[in-house]
Chain A
Amino acid sequence: MSDSCKTFSLLITSPPWSSQAHITALNFAKSIINKKHTLYRIFFYSDATHVGTNSAVAPQDEKDLPSEWKELAKEHNIDLVVCISAGIKRGVLDANEQSRYETPANTLREGYELSGLGQLVDAIIKSDRVISF
């Protein structure tokens, strides 16, 4: 196996609070960066989209997963995409969707983007490896 640099993306489908998947994925993401590979996009699908809810508050004695993803993404210029179809049915709506469906609030966390499954296909096309959690 050569140590040439590769481009990775992550597909996360597991829920943030009732599974260990996000913690494992975060550690994996940090390893990718430490090993000088490129992390292109993190795509949150299915129950993983709950991580993009801005009204969720992490308990003080637990890892603040939504903020950790956001900080990692900001520092290393990684796309954090919440699937729009999976997100809006779980109450994750950005300003556009909020006005379209006339819901009470913009609930998308800052630093996250709400977009379609095409962003996952684009990540598959542009990455050497897509790892699922």
Chain B
Amino acid sequence: MKKNILVIMRSAPYGQSRARDAIDLILTSAAYDQEISVLFQSDGIFQLIAEQQPKELGLKNINAQISAFEMYDIEAVYYDQESLSARGLKPEQLNDQIKPVSNSEIQSLLNQADTVLTF
């Protein structure tokens, strides 16, 4: 059986393990052949910053893991445009594999999902 799972990433990439834990779940869901979409929202936007240097922190690069989503056939990966502008960021600062979505598109992502999990 296949479910449509939406994972909403609302946490900053470092400082807590929520982003990393969510990525492990996303990759596992993909391995189990589920239909998965991912939405980066709120401080989760910071996970997408292209120039991250977490080596300084002794941590793995979250954005590099997100870039690997494609290899697992996870293609429905979006960020919330409003969260981006609220943080004074520009689209060109982000991982360019991720597509922007508006509020109404977020509504339809939520409507389509069988299960929504927020990290």
Contacts and interface: CB of A to CB of B under 8 A. Distances in A.
Contacts of B118: 132
Interface residues of B, number: 18
Contacts of B119: 13
Interface string B4-27: 010000000000011001001100
A118 B21 contact: no
A130 B115 contact: yes
Contacts of A122: 32
A117 interface: yes
B21 A46 contact: yes
B7 to A, nearest CB: 11
Contacts of A132: 117-118
Interface residues of A, number: 19
B67 interface: no
A125 B34 contact: yes
Given A124-B115, A132-B118, A117 B25 contact: yes
A118 B28 contact: yes
A75 to B, nearest CB: 26
B83 interface: no
Interface of B: 1-3, 5, 17-18, 21, 24-25, 28-29, 31-32, 34, 115, 117-119
At the interface, is chain B mostly helix, strand, loop or mixed? mixed
B24 A124 contact: no
A40 B31 CA distance: 22
A121 B21 contact: no
B21 A124 contact: no
A130 B118 CA distance: 11
Nearest to B117: A132
Nearest to A121: B32
Given A118-B28, A124-B29, A86 B34 contact: no
A125 to B, nearest CB: 5
A65 B9 CA distance: 29
Would you list the 8 A-B pairs with minimal beta carbon distance, nearest first? A117-B28, A121-B32, A130-B115, A124-B115, A121-B29, A46-B21, A125-B1, A125-B3
